[in-house]
Structure 1
Amino acid sequence: MNLRLNTLAEMVDRSARIADIGTDHAYLPIKLVLEDKVDYAIASDIAQGPLKNAQDNITQAGLQTKITTRLGSGLSTITLQDRIDTVVIAGMGGKLITQILTDAWRNHYQFPTLILEPNIGEPGLREWLVQHSYQIVAEEILAEAGHTYELIKAKKVMQEVKLTPRQLLFGPLILQAKNEVFYQKWRSQLYYQQKLLVNLNKARNKDLGHIEQIEQEIALIKGELNDEG
């Protein structure tokens, strides 16, 4: 198990009933069951190949009675009878994750706890959580094998928990514990956004809305990096 999957596992509440969407090899549910952190999990994937890998690993671990595999898209494989209280979706884009959650929401299917790891589009995912009355209760930013990951755990609450543009962009709890990975990511993002702004301003037909958005993000990033060291 790598650092990313170990951190996801740490975010899962003890005795949760989880659905791991896009499970791939089912490493996460296998770890959680073997460590007696959960008693039951669903390992779901849209592709037959990864699901076969998951089934083989589950069988090898002797956990067929505790981990069920499902083939299908997103959360369409989960039923109310499964009594799932925690959904894990990791390694997808933020837009795809929000679409999966929205599709379930439209079918009146909500989950008390979400553990999410978008590989892009984190601000949009945080905005979805705000709009659907989820409160972010844990966040981690970490680097592994040349990639940076942001992990988000959110709980359903009664009222909408507002986030500022700054919190949406960087993560409300990540901001509280700015580690070296945070600074590395946003130094790189600042360079990228500055180059993008130059190219946008060179365009014959300028997209003024996009330019303004990038300028605002650059200002926010500079504000966070200015306190470095």
Structure 2
Amino acid sequence: MKTNGNTILITGGSAGIGFELAKQFSKLGNKVVITGRNEERLKQAASQLENVVAIQGDVTNAESTDQLVAQIKEQHPELNMVINNAGYADVYQLDTNANAAAKAGQEMETNYLSIVGLTEKLLPTLLKNENAAVVNVTSIVAYYPQKMLPTYTASKAALRAYTDVLRDTFEEKLNVFELIPPLVNTDFSKEIGGENGIPPKEVADELLLALEKNQWRVPVGMSKDFVQISN
């Protein structure tokens, strides 16, 4: 899988891992489209980078997703890579009053169902272009569950299974990667001690190496202790 000359859509691309991925891919001469809910933050992120455009969108909203897909088809028909990075997590423990079903609903919508929906809608565009790829960002917790993230863990485990099936289904037509970060030092992970995590750049660097080697499963940092690397 080549790491330059691509047109790449990154969800959740205005901050954290998504922003670092956009930064590294843009440096390599790729055209990068970032999307997210906060238009102001998106524009600010894009203004710091070259070859990056921002499209405001909420991947958990069907109408917004349809608008995003239509804009991609019209303005970036050469799109050949999607990095499903947008995520949501509730930090809590299961209890009789945890309201776990509501929390799980939002996590499953953001971390799993929206990815299935967006990927399906973009498949016609991806499959007509060379070097087509999907990168799904799961988590170490999909392999090593954490009680402080009970339903986030479940949503990432669902995404992990979907990623494997997507790869098996399309085989030679679509390169499907699973990026598996551990704790990363981002605003997203502040509530669970993100300041003790690895820098987002380490995640981006590992993905770039894995793309070059066609290494489908991409554990980063301590995730390597729990995940078997496969090609």
Q: Which has the higher contact order (CA 8 A, sep 6+)?
A: 2
Structure with greater Cα Rg: 1
TM-score, normalised with respect to structure 1: 0.48
